[in-house]
Amino acid sequence: MKTSETPLTRFALLAVLAVLLPGCAQLQGLFDPEAEVDEEAVPNEEAPPEPAKGEAEEKRLEVAEIVQLLQRGEMDRARRELDRVLADEPDNRTARNLREQLSDDPRSTLGEDAFQHTVEPGETLARLAREHLGDANRFVILARYNNIERPDRLLAGQQLRIPQDPSGLPRGESDLDDQLMALDPEAAPGDGEDGLRRALEADLAAERYASAREVVDRARQHPGARDEWASWLEPLARDAEIGYWYQRGVEAHSSGEPEDALQAFGEVLAQDPQHAAARQHHDELERQRKEALHAEAIVRYRNQELDAAIALWDEALEVDPEFEAARGYRLRALELQRRLDALGKH
C-alpha cells in the first residue's frame, strides 16, 4: 500500500546515510537522541581560520609612544610596553630608566627632604624634572613622589614637593630627542621650536651649560634658526657659552689647574667684558701667575741663570706690563748680563 511504503522508504534512506556517514553526530542523534555528541567531529563552518603566527599579537609601541601613555597616567599599560621593549632591546637606556621609575620607591630614590614649589603657568612635570632632576623623563618618579595620577594635568597654582638634594641620582642617560619628547609629547622630537626653547631655558635655569650648548647646536640646524628663531636663540646661546666657560673656570680653579681656569675666564670676558665674577677670578689668577713667575725668576737670577730669569720676567710682564718689581729685576739682569759679556770679551 502506498501509505505503508513511505515510512519504510524513509527508514531505508536514513539507514543508507548512517552507513555512509558513520561519524556524523547529527544522524547519530536521530537514531539515539541521548547519545553524546563528539564535538570534534562536528564541523564548525562559522569558526574563523587560525591567524598566522604573530598576526594576533599587538604591535609593539615605541618609547615616544610609551612616554605619551605615562603622561596620560596609563601606568599599567606603559609598564607592559616597556617590558616588551626591554625584551627586544635590553640596552635601551631610556626604556630602562622609565621602567625603573615605575618600580622604585619615590621616597627612597629622591629623598625625604623637599621644598615646596608653586606651579607656574606653562610649567610641566617634565620641565621641572629636567630642571631639578637632570632628566625630563624623570617626570614619572616626580609624579609618583607627589601622588599625581596624570602627569599631563598639572595646574597653575598647584603645590608640589621638589627633592631638596637629588645629587645622589645618577646622571640622566636619556638622549636629547627622548627628553624633548617628554617635554612636548605632541611634537616631533628635536624639531619643534617650543620644545627646543623650553629645553634650553630649563638647562640654563639648572646651570647645565654643556647640555644647553648641545640644544643650541640642535636648534641651529633648523632652517628657521637664523631668521625666525634668532630673536630668542642667540641671546640664550650667548648665555649658554658664558655659563659654560665660567663653570669650567670655577671647576679648573677648584681642581688646582690655574692655567685652564685662566683660559676659561678669559673666554667669558671675551663674550662679556662686564662679567664681574669672571673678572675677579681672572684678575686674581693673573696676579698669582705673575707673582709665581717673578718668584721663579729671582731663583734663576740668584743661580746666575740670567737668560732663564729674563725669559720668566718677560712672561710676567706680558701678564701685567705695569709689574714694577719684574721690570726692575729684569733691568738688573740685563745689566749684569751686559757686564759679564763685556768681561768675556777681554
pLDDT at 193: 76
Domain extents for the chain? 60-183, 190-273, 290-345
Q: Count the neighbouring beta carbons within 10 Å of the beta carbon of residue 214.
A: 16
pLDDT at 279: 92
- The model carries a pTM of 0.49
- Residue 175 C-alpha from the chain's centroid: 5
290-339: pLDDT as tens digits: 888 889 999 998 998 989 988 998 988 888 888 898 899 899 889 888 88
pLDDT above 90: percentage of residues in the chain: 29
Let me know if domain 290-345 sits in CATH 1.10.3470. no
Q: What are phi and psi of 148, to 5 degrees?
A: -95, 125
User: Mean of the per-residue pLDDT values for the chain?
Assistant: 79
Whether residue 168 is predicted with pLDDT greater than 90 in this model: the reply is no
111-160: pLDDT as tens digits: 889 999 998 877 888 888 888 888 888 899 999 999 999 988 888 889 99
Question: Cell numbers 625630563 correspond to what residue?
Answer: 136
pLDDT at 341: 83
Q: What is the mean pLDDT of residues 59-74?
A: 87
Q: What is the mean pLDDT of residues 226-241?
A: 89
Q: Count the neighbouring beta carbons within 10 Å of the beta carbon of residue 16.
A: 10
* Burial zone of 234 (CB within 10 Å; 0-12 exposed, 13-18 middle, 19+ buried): middle
- List, in sequence order, the alpha helices (H) in 25-175: 25-31, 63-71, 75-88, 93-103, 106-110, 125-133, 139-145
pLDDT at 22: 45
pLDDT at 133: 86
pLDDT at 145: 94
Pick from 41-55, 127-141, 264-278: least confident: 41-55
pLDDT at 26: 43
User: What is the DSSP secondary structure assignment for residue 64, as one 8-state letter?
Assistant: H
Q: Quick one: cell of 115? A: 621644598
